[in-house]
Structure 1
Amino acid sequence: MASDTAGDTVDAFDIGRIDEVIHGRVRLGIMAYLSGVGAADFNELKARLQTTDGNLSVHLRKLEEAGFVEVAKSFQARKPLTRATMTEAGRDAFVAYLDAMSSLVAR
């Protein structure tokens, strides 16, 4: 959708607006799940996303490096507990991602 006014061109089909950090299947699943529950432990995410320890770790690290997820490690009853929480920046990025996807399909 382009306007007639020079310099005021708006194209809703802009694939460059898709955040590649979020777009991966597992990372998208992490963000979608955390957007609903706020925080989740590692095993909960692993079960929900049906992924392996190593695969989940890699994707959580990528989201953490982008500032979208905060990962806290602690112990509960002498067992390690890893908990992921979506950050405010992550929530903003996820909403922007959803908006970008919506504009791609709503043309």
Structure 2
Amino acid sequence: MSAPSNVAKFDELIHAPIRLRICASLAPLQWAEFAQLREALDVADSVLSKHLKQLSTAGYLRMERIAKGGRSHVRVALTTEGRKAFVGHVAALRAMTEMPM
């Protein structure tokens, strides 16, 4: 019998509000462009860059620079590890809210 793939595990890195929103925004997508993510989260470039760097350093997301219409764009995506961490974090939050008082 194999272990469950989505183990509930609270993740301090993901839990920060903007990083949690980044992961939630990226979870249903294959890729998102930096500008689209910035607009969806309504944050400054520098704020988004800081949080993306932290998630990238942890191996939770990958960033690619692409050429589009003669201009350079950055797109981001959750890695497999990042998706597992996000799903596990959400499961841990749900477990906390379901605890009997």
What range describes the TM-score normalised by the shorter chain of this pair? Answer: 0.7 to 0.9
RMSD of aligned C-alpha atoms?
1.0
Count of residue correspondences: 91
Q: Give the deviation of 1:74 after TM superposition.
A: 2.2
**Corresponding residue for residue 31 of structure 2:** 39
Amino acid at match of 1:29: R
Counterpart pick for 1:49 among 19, 41, 56: 41
Deviations 1:8-33 (A, max 9, x none): xxxxxxxxx42111011111111001
Amino acid at match of 1:92: K
For residues 26 and 34 of structure 1, the distance between their equivalents in structure 2, rounded to whole angstroms, comes to 12
Check if 1:63 corresponds to 2:41: no
| Conservation of the 8 A alpha-carbon contact between 2:29 and 2:77 | no
SS at match of 2:65: strand
Check if 1:91 corresponds to 2:83: yes
Q: Give the deviation of 1:75 after TM superposition.
A: 2.0
| Conservation of the 8 A alpha-carbon contact between 2:38 and 2:45 | yes
For residues 25 and 85 of structure 1, the distance between their equivalents in structure 2, rounded to whole angstroms, comes to 18
TM-score where L is the length of structure 1: 0.81
Q: Give unpaired runs (5+ residues) of structure 1.
A: 1-16
SS at match of 1:36: coil
Percent identity (aligned):
32
The runs of at least 4 aligned residues of structure 1 exceeding 3 Å deviation read: none
Q: Give unpaired runs (5+ residues) of structure 2.
A: 1-8
Check if 1:106 corresponds to 2:92: no
TM-score where L is the length of structure 2: 0.85
Which has the larger Rg? Answer: 1
Q: Give the deviation of 1:38 after TM superposition.
A: 2.3
For residues 39 and 33 of structure 1, the distance between their equivalents in structure 2, rounded to whole angstroms, comes to 10
For residues 80 and 57 of structure 1, the distance between their equivalents in structure 2, rounded to whole angstroms, comes to 16
